[in-house]
Structure formats: C-alpha cells, structure tokens
C-alpha cells in the first residue's frame, strides 16, 4: 500500500505524491513547505511563475532533509523562450540547488516556438542542470510535434486532472509514448461533497480528499495537492494506510464528465 514512485530515465524516481505550491508566497510558502517535508512529502512542485522558489529552497535547506531525498520540479514560462539558460540559472540560484530533478515548459509557447524551446531544455538536461525535462498543459499532438522534431520524448506532461476529467484514452496516449501523466488541481477539479466519494471515504475511515489522491496513485498518475492548512498538509500525505477496491476505483472513474 506504499505510495510509490514512477521511474524517469536518467533522473531519480518521481514520487507519485508531491506537494503543490501555487499561490503560496513568502512566509506562507516557507511554512507550508516546512510542514510538508515534516509530514513526509519528498516531492515539491514549484515554478518560476509562482514567485516562491527562494522560500521553497530555504524551507528545504532548513528542514534538514537531504537534498537528494527530495524530488524537485520547477517550470519555465512559455514567454521565456530564448532565455532558457538564464531562467534555469535563476531557478537553481533561488532554490539553492545545482540541478532540478524535473524542469517543465509551463504551457505551450506560441506557434513555432515549442520545438526550439524543447531543444533548449534538452541542452540543459544534457549539461546536467536538469535531471529530466518535460512539459505541462500540452496536448498529445503538441507532444508528438516535439518527438517528431527531436526524437526525444518529454519525461512528464503535467496536466489538469481529477475524477471529473478522467479519460482513459488520454492516459493511454501518454503511456504509449512513455510520457508520465502528472495531474494538477486534484481538489479544485473535484466536488469533494460528491456522495460517491463520501461513501468510499467513510468505508475507509478517511476524508474524500484522500480518496481522490489515492485514486490518482492507484492509476499511477502523479498528484501534487496544495494546502496551506497544517492539518490538511498532514492528512493529504496519509494515503498509504488504505487501498481502493476495483469497484471503488471504477466508481470514482465514473465521475468523469460530471458537473
């Protein structure tokens, strides 16, 4: 029932559960990341755009958790096309690390710019400043454009995901290409009061949020919940003590498309 991780070629394994940090700034970001590391998360998700890399890095150093035990993702905004090296150098300096574990193009740049940007990310990976590189908010067609041009597949695509957005064809499309699916906004995309989630949660003595997280993990989809509430930071991390049955997994799958 361990939470587990997914292998990434040339990089440390990526824990299936990570801690999201969007909208956490300043002291709140620092404190939340300290709480998360204390609670047991070993995977942190940030981005140039979040404006909190310095706080994330400081929290990691102050936590005493060895750097190599924590999987660190950051992202470059599409608008920084042409300034990739400088952007990664700024991220590494703010985070206080020699290399990030995963560096993503935050969203597809405008037409014609995606392939050159991808080549620049690959060059940084080859230089050892990012252990793996990938994309976010890309469609399968946009991923195929990168593969066709470079013969290099993004390690990860970070996309909006949750039970309502569940689509086995999207998962299969990524898996056929060897791209790990990482879901974001697991709670914002979910009605946590849904009776299906409530029933399953009560059967396991947990809250609906944990059912949603456990559902991701059992589908081997990486999930990065955010919370600024100390109690939720802890409970969201406690998803290793129960397992959803096949029927329960299907019941959550069937929330797809519901509004």
Ligand X SMILES: NC(=O)c1ccc[n+]([C@@H]2O[C@H](COP(=O)([O-])OP(=O)(O)OC[C@H]3O[C@@H](n4cnc5c(N)ncnc54)[C@H](OP(=O)(O)O)[C@@H]3O)[C@@H](O)[C@H]2O)c1
| Footprint on this chain of ligand X (rule: CB under 6 A) | 20-22, 45, 106, 136-137, 158, 184-188, 192, 207, 209, 224-229, 232, 235-236
Q: How far is the CB of 184 from ligand X (least distance, A)?
A: 3
Nearer to ligand X (CB atom), residue 142 or residue 247 = 142
Angle at 123 between CA 122 and CA 125, to 5 degrees: 65
Active site residue 50: yes
Task: Return the H-helix or E-strand segment holding 129.
Answer: none
Nearer to ligand X (CB atom), residue 128 or residue 199 = 199
Nearer to ligand X (CB atom), residue 125 or residue 226 = 226
Phi, psi dihedrals of residue 156, rounded to the nearest 5°: -145, 145
Nearer to ligand X (CB atom), residue 48 or residue 218 = 48
Q: How far is the CB of 144 from ligand X (least distance, A)?
A: 20
Q: How far is the CB of 20 from ligand X (least distance, A)?
A: 2
Helices (H) and strands (E) in the chain, counts: 10, 10
* Given the residues 30, 41, 50, 184, the one annotated as active site: 50
Q: How far is the CB of 159 from ligand X (least distance, A)?
A: 8
Nearest residue to ligand X by CB is 20
Q: How far is the CB of 210 from ligand X (least distance, A)?
A: 7
Grouping H, G, I as helix, E, B as strand and the rest as coil, residue 3 is: coil
Task: Kindly provide the b/e burial profile for residues 138-155, where b requires at least 16 CB atoms within 10 angstroms of the residue's own CB.
Answer: bebeebebbeeeeeeebb
Total number of residues shown for the chain: 259
Using alpha carbons, list the distances in angstroms from residue 77 to 71, 104, 204: 20, 9, 40
Nearer to ligand X (CB atom), residue 47 or residue 247 = 47
Structure tokens at 158: 């970070």
**Known catalytic residues?**
50
């Amino acid at each position: 029932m361990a939470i587990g991780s997914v292998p990434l070629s040339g990089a440390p394994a990526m824990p299936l559960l990570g801690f999201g940090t969007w909208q956490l700034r300043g002291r709140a970001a620092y404190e939340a990341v300290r709480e998360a590391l204390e609670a047991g998360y070993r995977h942190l998700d940030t981005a140039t755009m979040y404006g909190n890399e310095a706080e994330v890095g400081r929290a990691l150093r102050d936590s005493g958790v060895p750097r190599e035990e924590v999987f660190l993702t950051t992202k470059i905004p599409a608008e920084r096309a042409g300034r990739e090296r400088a952007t990664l150098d700024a991220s590494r300096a703010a985070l206080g690390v020699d290399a990030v574990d995963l560096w993503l193009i935050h969203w597809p740049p405008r037409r014609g710019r995606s392939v050159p940007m991808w080549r620049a990310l690959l060059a940084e990976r080859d230089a050892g400043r990012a252990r793996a590189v990938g994309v976010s908010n890309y469609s399968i067609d946009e991923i195929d454009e990168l593969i066709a041009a470079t013969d290099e597949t993004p390690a990860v695509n970070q996309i909006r995901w949750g039970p309502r957005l569940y689509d086995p064809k999207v998962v299969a499309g990524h898996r056929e290409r060897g791209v790990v699916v990482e879901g974001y906004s697991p709670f914002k995309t979910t009605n946590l009061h849904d009776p299906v989630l409530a029933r399953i949660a009560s059967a396991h003595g947990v809250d609906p949020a944990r059912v949603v997280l456990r559902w991701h993990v059992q589908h081997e989809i990486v999930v990065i919940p955010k919370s600024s509430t100390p109690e939720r930071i802890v409970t969201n991390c406690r998803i290793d003590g129960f397992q959803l049955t096949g029927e329960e997994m299907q019941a959550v799958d069937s929330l797809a498309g519901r509004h």
